[in-house]
Structure 1
Amino acid sequence: MLDREEYLAAWSRWHGGADTQAPLVRGWLTLAHTLARPLAVLPPVAATAAGVLVAAAAVPPAAAGGGWLIVAGLLVGLSGLLDSLDGALAIGTGRASQRGFVLDSVVDRLTEAAYAAALWAAGAPGWLAVSFGALCWLPDYLRARAGQAGVHRTGPISLWERPTRVAMSGLTLGGAGVVSGLEVAGFAGGPLVVTAGAAVGVALGAVGTVQLGWWLRGELSGPGQGTVPGPG
């Protein structure tokens, strides 16, 4: 198993030279590396599969409401840890592959769809939950398309990276569960917290997408950067 600094350097190489010095990213990756060390014998795909199953499992307790929202929030947080764990296992033990890298990206998007579904089930308006999910997908879609256009760097760390999405989803659901337990007669605070949390997530997603788009504008503004129709 690679030590932490070797792991961070390898993770950066797999992610287009992404900066691992940002406190949020470094802390998240350090936690994943710490959890992965005693589990190095496990196949990374086991953590990948567990992550998406745990994310999907957050939807029923979110729909149940009340104190079950705390369970939903904890499941969202666990799914995020499992997602980071599979990458730490793959990279840290030298088992990373292009196939696994693509699979991990697909699973990330599926878990984020589950987060949006959980927010909707917990009381967020449908349009807001869909916007939340779309803004989870959009930055990574932009990076993928930019890569096809020849941009090989990941770009700046925005306000709306994977750890922020997981944290916003989990804390919103868990916070709504806590508020539900403190409700006074006639005041349904849980759905209000879910709606407010989803709205903050949408705002952060919009800002993060603008940050990334502004950077890509410079990366893609070289000579010959005309519009080329693509299959997508």
Structure 2
Amino acid sequence: MKKIKRKPSRLRRAVRAAAVMLCVAALYLFLADAKLTPMMAVHMLEEFHGIYEETHVVASCGTQAGRRYYLMAGENALLCAEVDRHGLLWQEANGTLLDCSDGEPFQAGGCSRWPHGGQGTLELFGRIDDSSVARVEICQMRRDKWDGEMQDYVYQTRCVYPVDELIEDGGRRYFLGTYRLDEKPRSDGEYDRFVLSAYDAAGERTAEYEITNFSYWT
């Protein structure tokens, strides 16, 4: 006896069509936000931060989680851009911007990422326009206690982050370093300060610069 093949009911066809449309819409939204190359995602971050001058890559570094950081330098701006890889595509994540138009000899910034259940990382970056500086390091200072006599808080050195290399590029020097965190920095309350110390060729400390442009990401 030949089996009669029944056509799907009108309701089933409607449900199937709606499911296909939802899948197409989700794919469109993902592709609209994702980019084919990491630099396309970086340029989206530049537009988001209002950088319309010409920039170029002076340094980059990556992590095992498919995340990359690019240090983008312009005449008046310095951006540490974070992009994430999703399969074969890239997506802009976060960025920390430094305004370098004021002519200061030191410009430095940082960002820390502490994913849920993951290893924390710290990115420190900057531009050094003082030719007498031979090396720099960055100290993480933690608020310890209140000094009634000085009427101020006392800070203790929590950790020292050495900068291994100053990158020469276009007559300027830059740095970008990635470090592992054992403890999440505290951005308020009992908080942390990050201070850049500059040294000359003789090893003498010549200047200190507090990093105020700092981003905390999760």
TM-score normalised per structure 2: 0.25
User: Which structure: greater strand fraction?
Assistant: 2
The structure richer in helix per residue is 1
Q: Which has the higher contact order (CA 8 A, sep 6+)?
A: 1
